Amino acid sequence: MKRFAVLLTIIALTSFLFSCEKDPGEGGNSSIYGKVYVKNYNGTFTVLQGEYYGPDEDVYIIYGDAISYGQHTKTNYDGTYEFKYLRPGKYKVYVYSKDSTLQEPSGVIPIIKEVEITDKKQDVQVNDIIIFK
């Protein structure tokens, strides 16, 4: 009888461990990638001085409903970034941009893209994140 109770406990614990759904974040085989595109304006945003894919821009990712970013990276020479080894779930990718409305006291706003990974081995491309400088 004791052996049967131990066996039932082991089966229950094993099924509980395998049925737990993992939250979005690191530890998977998927990735999110994209590019940051910069529109460079003068100080009053009246003259466009140049456009290009932004090298060395900071890009952040938020896992699920977290209140703070989970990871941060920089774009490479052609504005490309990538977050690897992610699990299925919902994510927010963002980059800071100058506020073209000149209303934000800090002068910067986040440009946020919402992304969802639905499979265990999926590479999700984000549309260009356009920022102002």
pLDDT digits (tens, 9 = 90+) for 63-72: 999 999 999 9
Mind giving me the DSSP string for 66-96? Answer: -SS-SEEEE--TTSEEEEEEEPSEEEEEEEE
Shortest CA distance to 57 belongs to which of 26, 78, 85, 86?
78
The CATH homologous superfamily of the domain defined by 22-132 = Immunoglobulins (2.60.40.10)
User: Does residue 115 have a pLDDT over 80?
Assistant: yes
**SS3 state of residue 16:** helix
Q: Is the pTM of this model over 0.85?
A: no
Domain boundaries, the chain: 22-132
